[in-house]
Amino acid sequence: MNDMQKLVERALSAVARSYSVYSGFAVGAAVLTDTGEIYVGTNVENASYGLSICAERVAICNMVSACGARRIMAIAIVASKDNPVVPCGACLQFISEFAEPGCIIVTLGSGGDVKYDTLSDLLPNAFTLGKREDSDERSGTP
Ligand code: THU
């Protein structure tokens, strides 16, 4: 099984742990780090709806807090919907903090369809302050 297949498998296993009692929309995500490790997340909802958090952001927070990784090479997202569902805008921005424009975003629907995009396909103009840890642009001035 290659890295991409493993990533999808891990995202699929995370969907089953989704806490989505309000929307009924279960999502699982898995991120592949530049060191070859995989971290997963699922959406976690709350009775105060606005506090709910998406699977992608949970996976990234797990990555950062578990091993301190700073680079995502690919992310897989599986949703309980027929067609593949791409990450919301907030999650794309969150991904962009830790990914290059060519980062692979693979999305799967429960119908079996698979869609491949890059981060720059979905978020061509990410907001940045130019202060990323490994960035050359450190001045912070416009
Ligand atoms: N959701 C995600 O987990 N990822 C996304 O990119 C979009 C939406 C979740 C949040 C909420 O629990 C449910 O899907 C319905 O919006």
Q: Give residue-wise pLDDT tens across range 98-137.
A: 999 999 999 999 888 999 999 999 999 999 998 776 654 4
Count of domains for the chain = 1
| Domain that residue 102 falls in | 3-139
Distance 32 CA to ligand 1 centre (A): 20
CA of 30 to the centre of ligand 1 (A): 14
Given 56, 100, 133, 137, which residue is catalytic?
56
CATH of the domain at 112: 3.40.140.10
Concatenated DSSP letters of 101-128: TT-EEEEE-TTS-EEEEEHHHH-TT---
pLDDT in tens, 3-47: 899 999 999 999 999 999 999 999 999 999 999 999 999 999 999
Is 100 designated active site? no
Claim: this prediction has a pTM higher than 0.95: no
72 lines ligand 1 (CB under 6 A): no
Provide the H-helix boundaries in the chain: 3-15, 55-67, 89-96, 119-122
